[in-house]
Each structure stands twice: as structure tokens, then as C-alpha cells.
Amino acid sequence: MDVKSAFLNGELKEEVFVKQPLGFVVAGQEHRVLHLRKALYGLRQAPRMWNVKLDARLTRLGFARCETEHALYTWRPERGQLLVGVYVDDLVVTGASEHDIIAFKQEMKKLFRMSDLGLLTYYLGIEVEQGTDSITLRQSAYARKLLERSCIAGCRANKTPMEEKIKLSKASTAAKVDATGYRSIVGGLRYPVHTRPDLAFAVGYVSRFMEDPREDHLTAVKDLLRYVAGTVDYG
């Protein structure tokens, strides 16, 4: 679900005044300003006030916010449980009972102007494929962009993320490489780990050398990218 004009729902706690916007200046009162009662896009307070408003509404509906992940809310009715993940103005809803999901959507539409986008197919760069007996998460589009950015697209693919028994060291005497570029590539590789556990060890290993990367470290990163190129549709 998507909340329309979400930041306009936030109720300000501070006193905020703005100039009269162009086209809406009252003749003869050009020197006056407007006192805001609610947030506007562009205000520093707007994102926080929206989050406070949404949190209050979900709490009122009986949801409990996760103590370790504040973007996750849980409601436990008699039939099971309902989970809501929040990313700014987008809500991802799942649960044990379709009846509870429908009821939740109806309640939210009473509180905010919302769009029901149906089954989840794409979210934060993650492609979601929902089948009859499974849900597959993959990041193929993201991986292709990463390969293009790293100038690896169209390369010969590797069969494994790393060479067997490879040993890298922070004390390497190989030539230095551009640290900013190295960090950018490794940082880009960290995100696909969410849907690609087969990358986790290799990405963690090359992440150790971001302070002072050398040629042998970069070679390992390129091998990892070549593995991604050959497994771009894995999930």
C-alpha cells in the first residue's frame, strides 16, 4: 500500500511560519506570513512528524512496534499474526489470514488517502515472485546495474564467488588501487547479500580491506563480480 501525499499528514509541534507562496499572496497584506498547522514537503520536521503520526495510528489499531527494528509492526489476533513493514510512505502487509489483511487495508483507508498496489512484485530494488508454493526474492536488475557501473558487463563468468584457498592480507605489498572506487564496488555488493546468501562470505572477506585496498584485493572483487554476472538471476 502507498500513502498519498504522506508528509502532509504530519502535525507540527513547533511553531513554523512561511512566506505567502507566489500566486496566493493576499493583496494589501503582502507583509504577513502563514502559520502552519500541518507539515509541508520541504520542512525538516515533515518526515519525522509523518512517522510519529503513522506510529500513533498503528498503535491505536493494536500493533506493537518491534524493539530492534522500528520499521516493523506486529499484530497478533486469534487467527495468527499480521506483519506490516514501513518504508517512508509505503506499507508491505503480510499475515496468516487474508481476512485480517483485508480488514487492515480498510481501516488504513479510513485514516489516510491510500493506494492498494496489490501483490508485492518490486520493493527497494528487490524483485518478488510469488508462486503457489513459494516466494522468490532476487535482485537481477540491481545486479546488472552494478556490473555496468563496475565495467564488468559482458565478461566471462566465474563458477565460484572466490578462488579456492585464497589468502588475502592487509599487509599486502601489491600496488595500491583507487580506494574510493574499491569501496564503491564493495558497498554495492553488500546490498544483494540480502537475497543472495551465496555471496555473503566473499563480500564479507573483501570488505576487510577497504581502508587500504591493493591489486590482489581488487582482483578478488573482480572475480566476485564475474560470479555475479554468471548468476544474475539467482534468488
Q: What is the pLDDT of residue 26?
A: 92
Q: What is the mean pLDDT of residues 191-211?
A: 95
3-state secondary structure of 46: helix
Give the separation between CA 80 and CA 75, rounded to whole angstroms.
Answer: 9
Cβ atoms 156, 125 nearer than 8 A: no
Give pLDDT, residue 154. 79
* 206 SS3 class: helix
How far apart are the C-alpha atoms of 191 and 182, rounded to whole Å? Answer: 15
Nearest to 64 by CA among 79, 40, 83: 83
Q: Which three cell numbers stand for residue 76?
A: 497478533
Question: Does the pLDDT of residue 153 top 80, yes or no?
Answer: no
DSSP state at residue 6 = G
Q: How far is CA 214 from CA 137, 179, 181, 218, 224, in A?
A: 34, 9, 12, 6, 16
What pLDDT is attached to residue 116? 94
Neighbouring C-beta atoms of residue 59, cutoff 10 Å: 12
On average, the pLDDT of the chain sits at: 93
With a cut of 90, say whether residue 35 has pLDDT above it: yes
* pLDDT surpassing 80 at residue 114: yes
| pLDDT for the residue 151 | 86
**Total-model pTM:** 0.76
| pLDDT confidence of residue 91 | 96
What pLDDT is attached to residue 156? 87
Backbone angles phi, psi at 86, to 5 degrees: -115, 130
